Amino acid sequence: MAVVYLDNNATTRVDRQVVQAMLPFFTESFGNASSTHDYGAAVAPALKEARKQVQALLGAEFDHEVVFTSGGTESDTTAIFSALEASPERNEIVASAVEHPAVLNVCQTLERTGRAKVHYIGVDAQGDLDIDAYRAALSDKTALVSIMWANNETGKIFPVPELAAEAKAVGAMFHTDAVQAFGKIDMALKGAAIDLLSLSGHKIHGPKGIGALYVKKGVKFSPLFRGGKQERGRRAGTENVPGIVGLGLAADIARQNLAADHARIKGLRDRLESGLLAAIPLARINGGGDSRLPNTCNISFDYADGEAVLHKLDRAGVAASSGSACASGSMEPSHVLRALNIPPYALQGAIRFSLSRESTEDDISQVLATLPEIVAATREKSPLWAEVRSSQVA
């Protein structure tokens, strides 16, 4: 049985080229980059090259604007705390209600401790940000705006460059969690009003445990990790050289293939969606429209048990998810889908398929051949579905 992996927003397979590039830095060029001997000096060029590769994919102006971290969560936390320290006279944060838990949980902690007041901006039924509410929340008390570039569950893209410009107009710093957008859409940070941006390697066929925080030149910055002088004093701790090399090459591969991958993956996603909507009654796309990532499909099947559907898909060789991997195991409906005001009978039947450049036409064919029967079997166990069928017959 062929195995179909469509949970790439959770993590991607590491590209074999990336693995090969990393290996020498475990056993040959294994020195500490901070050491003054030849073993340490030998890895310095690799770090510099990786920094330039990430810079190129971001469209940033300077390579030193890239600070390597352990991943998106560390980058998000660092950005939020740094912005608050940079503006002690301001104590308000503006964030969307559909942010990743890496941002939401930090904001909620700051609220509980009285460190900051947070304005959570809602979205409409299509997942688009309430721009009027956003503008109303901005003031001279705003220390930081943190709005994700693309949502991890629906793929919805927010107009981050424009939002950043409005934040700068009131003197606030602007941060974006771009973990899902990085490597999937074009980013031109040079000249943009974005101060801080978070990214992660394992979403673009790089290794886990490595990410970066873009810090625009001239932005006031306070490190989260203090100790040594690594990363120009902005992130203490011995550099994860193999991970950094892997992230750099993964970014370079993504940059070279960005346009072609975008078009091909979007075509696969659109075929998946149209096929499922045609084959399965009472199905709906959550957060649809053109302004979304090309690889993400969040679809609900009314009156179906999403967890049961996922279990049956897994047994059939198809890996998908119900939303953020960081919330897996929770029986609560997704905070993202709740924000879209999706009816309860559709919330429980939501499934996220997320594709990558490894996804194929055969993968889509297998899902289209398998899923309609699985949804039908799951619905048969729902009392509400029996009522719906009875009313249709009547």
What is the full DSSP assignment across 214-253? EE-TT-----SS-SS-HHHHTS-S---HHHHHHHHHHHHH
> Residues 195-230, buried b or exposed e (16+ Cβ, 10 A)?
bbbbbbbbbbbbbbbbbbbbbbeebebebbeeeeeb
Distance CA 169, CA 288 (A): 31
Q: Largest Cα–Cα distance in the chain?
A: 83
Q: For residue 361, which phi and psi values (nearest 5 degrees)? A: -60, -35
Cα dist from 184 to 23, 204, 355, whole Å: 26, 8, 11
Q: Catalytic one among 326, 327, 368, 376? A: 326
Sign of CA dihedral 249, 75, 200, 175: negative
DSSP state of 1: -
6 SS3 class: coil
The crossing angle, in degrees rounded to 10, of helices 361-379 and 306-315 is 130
**The two structure tokens encoding residue 89:** 């006279």
Q: Is 326 a catalytic residue?
A: yes
Cα dist from 351 to 98, 324, 364, whole Å: 17, 11, 15
By annotation, the residues acting in catalysis are: 326
